[in-house]
Chains A and B, each alone.
Chain A
Amino acid sequence: DQQVKQNSPSLSVQEGRISILNCDYTNSMFDYFLWYKKYPAEGPTFLISISSIKDKNEDGRFTVFLNKSAKHLSLHIVPSQPGDSAVYFCAASAKTGANNLFFGTGTRLTVIP
């Protein structure tokens, strides 16, 4: 049972434009959400996170939006750069205090120069 879903396996965007990656979750106990970026043959790299008490968190070119009522979050990258091309994973953790993360299946972003 996939509790975190990324329904778009891939996304292509022109350099300089906005990239929007989407993520949906089903477990209402999730209260902390993270985005990771992964290059081939490397481990996931932490990008940005958001607590359920917020609806937006910004860090440079990256902004994460959380819509709790819709159980939906999105990652915006503006402007997109060719170096952003990677697989992006959405992850969530529950209010149990445990550290285990539930991951989506990933979206492959390609930024076209």
Chain B
Amino acid sequence: KAGVTQTPRYLIKTRGQQVTLSCSPISGHRSVSWYQQTPGQGLQFLFEYFSETQRNKGNFPGRFSGRQFSNSRSEMNVSTLELGDSALYLCASTITPGGPYEQYFGPGTRLTVT
């Protein structure tokens, strides 16, 4: 079974721009969560989607948004990029919400904001 895939793997953007990252969950997994990993803050939860609806949201500004499609694929968008948004963005999938269930992570997208 293929794992979680994320595209692109690396991205360089300029302050003020916006960016869209993509995640395809493991086949059969319907819940997708996004995390931000930075050296200072570690891994922090951004949001979770299930059935094309955001179920849960972490403590991030409204510039961070996401969506999920009917095939469970998900995208996250960051608008008006700031230097502090430079991070590894990880997507994780699990079978369904209401677990607990193990979450399986993709390789991440490394975003650099200059």
Contact = CB atoms under 8 A, between A and B. Distances in A.
Chain B binding surface SS class: strand
A99 B31 contact: yes
Contacts of B56: 98-100
A44 B99 contact: no
Interface stretch (A60-68, A70-78, A101-109): A101-109
A106 B100 CA distance: 21
Nearest to B48: A99
Contacts of A49: 100, 102
Given A43-B4, A98-B56, A100-B33, A31 B100 contact: yes
Interface residues on B, range: 20 to 34
Given A43-B4, A103-B42, A98 B107 contact: no
B105 A99 contact: no
B103 interface: yes
Given A99-B33, A100-B48, A43 B100 contact: no
B58 interface: yes
B97 A43 contact: no
Interface residues of A, number: 26
Given A44-B90, A98-B48, A89 B43 contact: yes
Nearest to A105: B42
Contact of A43 (B31, B58, B108): B108
B102 A41 contact: no
Nearest to B97: A99
A46 B104 contact: yes
19 contacts: A32-B100, A34-B103, A36-B105, A42-B108, A43-B90, A43-B92, A44-B43, A44-B90, A44-B105, A45-B105, A46-B105, A51-B100, A93-B99, A97-B97, A100-B33, A101-B33, A101-B35, A101-B45, A104-B42
Interface of A: 2, 31-32, 34, 36, 41-46, 49, 51, 89, 91, 93, 97-106
